[in-house]
Copies of this chain bind each other. A is one copy, B any other.
Amino acid sequence: MPHVYVVGVGMTKIGRHFDKGLVELAAEAYEKAVEDAGIEPAGIVVSNMMASSLQGQDSLGALIASSLGLRYRPALHVEAACGSGGAAVYTAYSLVASGLLPSVMVIGVEKMTDYPTAIVTEALAQAADADYEVFYGASFAALNALMMRYYMERYGVSRDEMSEWPVMMHENALKNPYAQLHKKITRRMVAESQPVADPIRLLDSSPIGDGAAAVILASGEEARKTHWGATVEVTGLGLAVDTVELSNREALDRIPALERAAEQAYQMAGVTPREIDVAEIHDAFTITAVLSIEALGLAGRGEAAKLLARGRFHPGDRPTLNPSGGLKARGHPVGATGVYQVAEITMQLRGDYPGVRVDNPRHGLASNIGGDGSTTTVVILSRRM
């Protein structure tokens, strides 16, 4: 396999950007990443879920590339619901590794605010199965609530234990200048927050926000022309899909596809879960984080929430999980999330991450999920210099 490096990253703060549309958000991340790398990309892959539903706009590859001055270059748009970012990184890797393009920027962008909540909820439900779930009235939160209740019952996990995840996320996000939420919370506040779909509470849920993140992938030869050179390499990649509808899965208390994506990525990178120093995982809801930790082999089955409640995976521990604050508090501009994760892990490995920093990490991991486990991706990055 040829070597592919992450040579530049850029992010916008996540939040309500009343004054910015998709193109303006993408442009901010683009310019930061180009400045960080010192090169313009030969092509782009846009990661976005909701523009078709919310902005009535298709052809985002062409729209964003041409708006950024990349007219006539190759541009693609990849969609896998909330897992679009990881899928786009997988695509960009292949464009570089194949020799088709010397460098590719992945731009994840999503504009979710300025719309009534019911419209956004309906657009998010397109990540579930239209015929077998949404038609029957299931919201996306309701489907995740089934998984959370089943997990808690099966493994005897308490509400209080589950609540540690959002508490840690809000704590970590306090130091992240790009995070949407900067507010300390307690386990009690989580348990007493508004029910969304029982047992999921408001503070178990990631917020709605606008944002864009960009990463530039480059071949070894092209990387030598950049500021960061061959500092951070993409060493492992995994992508595995499952049924969109929950009822046909192998299990409700696991994310089986993510287990496969993780296997692929660990094998390609030649590392084990124990060697991961820092990870950004997908926590659309608290249960998504808990099941991801187990699918990634970082905890045994039924153990993740209990370990978290006892202080495991917090800053200072290895691996540290979601030093950014995760989807819960950094924010979750859906199509951009997987790209934020890769940008954050890249900065952790370079040592210039502006938030909670992991000391001298060698291997980092990003895992992104579309729907409640239908598209799953794992990216492993390793420090090379």
What is the interface of chain A, defined by CB distance below 8 A to chain B? 1-2, 21, 43, 49, 52-53, 55-63, 65-67, 70-81, 83, 87, 90-91, 93-100, 125-127, 129-131, 134, 237, 239-244, 248, 256-257, 260, 370-371, 374-375
Q: Which residue of B lies closest to A67 (CB)?
A: B243
What is the minimal beta-carbon distance from A80 to any residue of chain B, in angstroms? 6
Q: Tell me the bound Cα distance from A17 to B81 in angstroms.
A: 27
- Provided the pairs A53-B52, A56-B130, A242-B71 are in contact, do residues A76 and B61 lie with their beta carbons within 8 angstroms? no
Q: Which residue of B lies closest to A377 (CB)?
A: B74
Q: Is the CB of A81 within 8 A of B56?
A: no
- Provided the pairs A61-B87, A97-B99, A99-B1 are in contact, do residues A75 and B243 lie with their beta carbons within 8 angstroms? no
Q: Is the CB of B80 within 8 A of A237?
A: no
Q: Tell me the bound Cα distance from A341 to B123 in angstroms.
A: 32
Contact of A370 among B56, B62, B72, B79 (CB under 8 A): B62
Q: Is the CB of B76 within 8 A of A78?
A: yes
* Copies of this chain present: 2
Contact of A243 among B71, B76, B237 (CB under 8 A): B71
- Provided the pairs A73-B241, A94-B95 are in contact, do residues A129 and B63 lie with their beta carbons within 8 angstroms? yes
Q: Is the CB of A66 within 8 A of B243?
A: yes
Q: Which residues of B sit under 8 angstroms from A374, Cβ to Cβ?
A: 59, 62-63, 66
What is the minimal beta-carbon distance from A204 to any residue of chain B, in angstroms? 22
Q: Which residues of B sit under 8 angstroms from A80, Cβ to Cβ?
A: 58-59, 61-62, 76-77
Q: Which residue of B lies closest to A58 (CB)?
A: B126
Q: Which residues of B sit under 8 angstroms from A370, Cβ to Cβ?
A: 58-59, 62
Q: Which residues of B sit under 8 angstroms from A240, Cβ to Cβ?
A: 72-74
Q: Is the CB of A130 within 8 A of B371?
A: no
Q: Which residue of B lies closest to A241 (CB)?
A: B62
Q: Is the CB of A75 within 8 A of B2?
A: no
Contact of A76 among B1, B55, B91 (CB under 8 A): B91
Give the residue among A70, A72, A73, A90 with the most B Cβ atoms within 10 A: A72
Q: Is the CB of B375 within 8 A of A75?
A: yes
Q: Is the CB of B93 within 8 A of A62?
A: no
Q: Which residue of B lies closest to A259 (CB)?
A: B72
- Provided the pairs A98-B97, A375-B59 are in contact, do residues A66 and B237 lie with their beta carbons within 8 angstroms? no
Q: Tell me the bound Cα distance from A98 to B217 in angstroms.
A: 14
Query: 6 extra interchain contacts, Cβ-Cβ under 8 A, other than A57-B129, A78-B91?
Result: A2-B98, A43-B239, A59-B244, A62-B80, A77-B80, A93-B98
Q: Which 8 residue pairs of A and B lie closest in terms of their CB atoms, listed nearest first?
A: A97-B98, A62-B374, A62-B241, A74-B239, A52-B52, A98-B98, A58-B126, A94-B98
Q: Is the CB of B62 within 8 A of A242?
A: yes
Q: Tell me the bound Cα distance from A255 to B77 in angstroms.
A: 21
What is the minimal beta-carbon distance from A247 to any residue of chain B, in angstroms? 12
What is the minimal beta-carbon distance from A51 to any residue of chain B, in angstroms? 8
Q: Which residues of B sit under 8 angstroms from A91, Cβ to Cβ?
A: 76, 78, 91, 94-95
Q: Which residues of B sit under 8 angstroms from A244, Cβ to Cβ?
A: 59, 62-63, 66
- Provided the pairs A76-B78, A375-B75 are in contact, do residues A56 and B241 lie with their beta carbons within 8 angstroms? no
9 contacts between A and B (CB under 8 A): A52-B79, A58-B79, A59-B127, A59-B371, A62-B80, A62-B241, A76-B80, A76-B87, A94-B100
Give the residue among A49, A96, A244 with the most B Cβ atoms within 10 A: A244
Contact of A131 among B21, B100, B129, B131 (CB under 8 A): B21
What is the minimal beta-carbon distance from A137 to any residue of chain B, in angstroms? 13
